Amino acid sequence: MSHFSYQDGVLHAESVPLPAIARQFGSPTYVYSKAQLLQNFRGYAKPSQGRDALVCYAMKANSNLAILDILAREGAGFDIVSGGELLRVIAAGGDPGKVIFSGVGKTVAEIELALEKGILCFNVESIPELHRINDVAGRLGKRAPVSLRVNPNVDPKTHPYIATGLKASKFGVAFSDALDTYRSAAALPHLDVVGIDCHIGSQLLDDAPLLEALDKLIELIDTLAAEGILLHHLDVGGGLGIDYGTGDNAPVAIGDYVSRVFARVDAWRAEKYEGKPIKVIFEPGRSIVGNTGVLLMSVEFLKPGEEKNFCVVDAAMNDMARPALYQAWMDVKPVQQREGAVVKYDLVGPICESGDWLARDRELAVEPGDLLAMMTGGAYGFTMASNYNTRGRAAEVLVDGDKVHLIRRREEPAELFALESVVK
């Protein structure tokens, strides 16, 4: 069930009409639904109940403190990729003991911070990184919990920019090198080798590649066990896709995917380990927050042209980079349905780049001043926003039933250059 719906011809977030939000907070504004967020998170958490499992939300998808706080209260852990994200988790009241730290370029300072805060584990992506973590841990008199991100070389069948588990990818350790890398890790004095992980890509509509990757991890865990390297957890990564409204493939439902993972894991543990469980970690981002948010914008001008008609809106590629970066198709809906002639438009922003487009060839009946909503914008929307053209980033609001909370105010232009100074 979607928590964004038309009521009497007006698009609502839960029971709040979007025009009321635009009047109060202006536009462009990201609008999130708390009920949708909880529904998605519980899609992972419910089938995990009563098991040794942890959902580490990949907060790069949307790291607003209000979102993190809600998820932390639901028991979420977090997948982070920087020291800054760890500080956000802590600021939001999240438990560092449920944090896993991914990423190919962890700095010494970030490793120190993570060790001091006591994270659950480092998802290590290379041999030099293993040595760096070992050195830092030794210097601090600590032991560092590590998992190896293994690159299972499974084709995720997604956009090449968001595929991460192939041989040519910068991420992870090659499957063929994994055993040796585990041996090296086990020999380092300040590391505890606790797990294995993978993340093969994002926006996967089918879970077959995810399950194929899981099978490869299981195979490796057995090989390691035979060598006496016993792992405590298995992290299957994130990557489950969502419905962007393109009308083609429907993504697999969260609950179905999670159940299939547990079915496989249970059968394997029963067969090889007398049923002894292993902790299962999920790292979803998009499938938790994607359909939780929309980007509310307003039409500035309609600009007919010989080849194209342009609908110029007040949002731009700095607010939502996905179309410009990945040619991503994002659904755009009128906030107030109106009668009138439908015209084919390219939806463009005010930024001085030809690549500043949000949608192409969309049939819309619109007038200047109308509101539009870019649907399914809750993931990799605000977090990838920039200040290009000295544009303040959009406001963010959270709707909870009939209540609206401002969870990040709009940036003011003076704030955008406040950290700069002229040379006297």
Ligand X SMILES: Cc1ncc(COP(=O)(O)O)c(C=O)c1O
Ligand Y SMILES: N[C@@H](CCCC[NH3+])C(=O)O
Instruction: Please state the residue numbers annotated as binding site for pyridoxal 5'-phosphate.
Output: 239, 283-286, 380
Which one of 121, 198, 311, 352 is the catalytic residue?
352
Spell out the residues 6+ positions from residue 34 whose beta carbon is closer than 8 angstroms to its own. 14, 70, 398, 399, 400
* Beta pairing, strands 121-124 & 144-151: parallel
Give least dist CB 244 to ligand X, A.
13
Strand partners, 406: 397
CB atoms within 10 A of CB 228: 7
Name residue, tokens 């192409």. Answer: 360
Does residue 56 have an active-site annotation?
no
Residues 121-150 close enough to bind ligand Y by CB under 6 A = none
Query: Which of residues 151 and 318 has its CB atom nearest to ligand X in the complex?
Result: 151
Binding site: which residues? 239, 283-286, 322, 326, 353, 380
DSSP symbol at 62: -
Query: Which of residues 43 and 156 has its CB atom nearest to ligand Y in the complex?
Result: 156
Q: How many CA atoms lie within 13 A of 134 on its CB side?
A: 17
Residues 37-76 close enough to bind ligand Y by CB under 6 A = 60
Exposure string for 303-326, b = 16+ CB within 10 A, e = fewer? eeeeeeeebbbbbbbbbbbbbbeb
Binding-residue pattern over the window 221 to 240 for ligand X, x denoting contact by CB under 6 A:
----------------xxxx
Binding site for substrate: which residues? 286, 322, 326, 353, 380
Q: Which of 10, 59, 53, 13 is nearest to 32 (CA)?
A: 13
Residue 207, interface with ligand X (CB under 6 A)? Answer: no
43 binds, among ligand X, ligand Y, none (CB under 5 to 8 A by kind): none
Binding-residue pattern over the window 333 to 372 for ligand Y, x denoting contact by CB under 6 A:
----------------------------------------
User: Side by side, which strands form the sheet with 10-13?
Assistant: 4-7, 10-13, 16-17
Residue 62, interface with ligand X (CB under 6 A)? Answer: no
C-alpha torsion 152→153→154→158, nearest 10: 120
Give least dist CB 374 to ligand Y, A.
13
102 binds, among ligand Y, ligand X, none (CB under 5 to 8 A by kind): ligand X
322 binds, among ligand Y, ligand X, none (CB under 5 to 8 A by kind): ligand Y
Give least dist CB 280 to ligand Y, A.
20
Binding site for ligand X (CB under 6 A): 58, 61, 79, 102, 199, 202, 237-240, 283-287
Return the active site residues: 352
